[in-house]
Amino acid sequence: MTHFNEIFVDVDAYQPPSKWEERFNNLQVWLIVALLLVGGWFFKDWMMNQFRFLALAEGQPVIPYPLQWQQQPAEAVTLQVVDPASKSPFHARETVILKNASKGDFTTVWPEQRTLQLRDYKEVERRLVKLGDDRQALWLLYTYVSDMGKSQAANASPGVIQAQDVVFETTNELGQKQWVVITLAADSNEWDQEWPTFRRILEKLGVPVL
């Protein structure tokens, strides 16, 4: 049995650490903290670079979308994911629409349809590009006004949305021609911070990014 006096430390025998030992111990603590911070940063960056893929018909392109973004079902939309970190009432998003091919060339017909669909639509630029499988696609950059007050907040003011469409033609499992429309959109005030993610999506699709 331990004697009562043995549970106390002999103060006279205690030797405080030297200044060099204190500095070394402090350095170890700061080194561990730094490693944890760097490790967390690399993990966050790794997560931001992870994607899921939406498969179309066999032999057709797969469509990447960010792993951390949340799915948000919407009418007449095949897939819609939004950035949960977005501060705007209009969350940054990626939307995929599959629609039956209309008469005419999608490279000219689709921009005309956008003009009718979106409020205060303004085309900024359009280019014909080739995807990773050498398939021709339309890249369309534009802005429009979204009144989120109608769907999310009664006191929300209209916001300017910046968006890009990548449109290409594909064939479904029944042999029918379809247009695939991939839209990357964000509040114009958040576009710069969302652009790195949008850029990676475009790169995975094989779209040349200027």
pLDDT value of residue 132: 87
The Cα–Cα gap between 189 and 170 comes to 34
pLDDT value of residue 153: 47
Burial of 52 (0-12, 13-18, 19+ CB in 10 A): middle
Strand ranges in the chain using DSSP code E only, listed in sequence order: 51-55, 62-66, 70-71, 79-82, 93-100, 122-130, 136-146, 159-171, 177-187
**SS3 of residue 173 by DSSP:** coil
pLDDT value of residue 34: 63
Residue 84 has pLDDT above 90, yes or no: yes
- Condensed to tens digits (0 to 9), the pLDDT of residues 135-189 reads 999 999 999 998 764 444 444 456 999 999 999 999 888 888 999 999 999 999 9
Closest residue by Cα to residue 161 from 185, 183, 181, 126: 185
Residue 85 has pLDDT above 70, yes or no: yes
At 163, give phi and psi (nearest 5°): -150, 160
Helices (H), the chain: 19-48, 106-117, 191-205
pLDDT value of residue 47: 46
Instruction: Mean pLDDT check: name the lowest of 33-37, 51-55, 75-79, 101-105.
Output: 33-37
pLDDT value of residue 206: 92
pLDDT value of residue 155: 47
Q: Rounded mean pLDDT of the chain?
A: 83
Comparison of pLDDT for 23 and 178, the residue scoring more: 178
Count of beta carbons in the 10 Å neighbourhood of residue 155? 5
- Condensed to tens digits (0 to 9), the pLDDT of residues 102-121 reads 889 999 999 999 999 999 99
Comparison of pLDDT for 129 and 17, the residue scoring more: 129
**SS3 of residue 10 by DSSP:** coil
pLDDT value of residue 76: 87
- Condensed to tens digits (0 to 9), the pLDDT of residues 4-14 reads 555 555 556 65
Count of beta carbons in the 10 Å neighbourhood of residue 135? 16
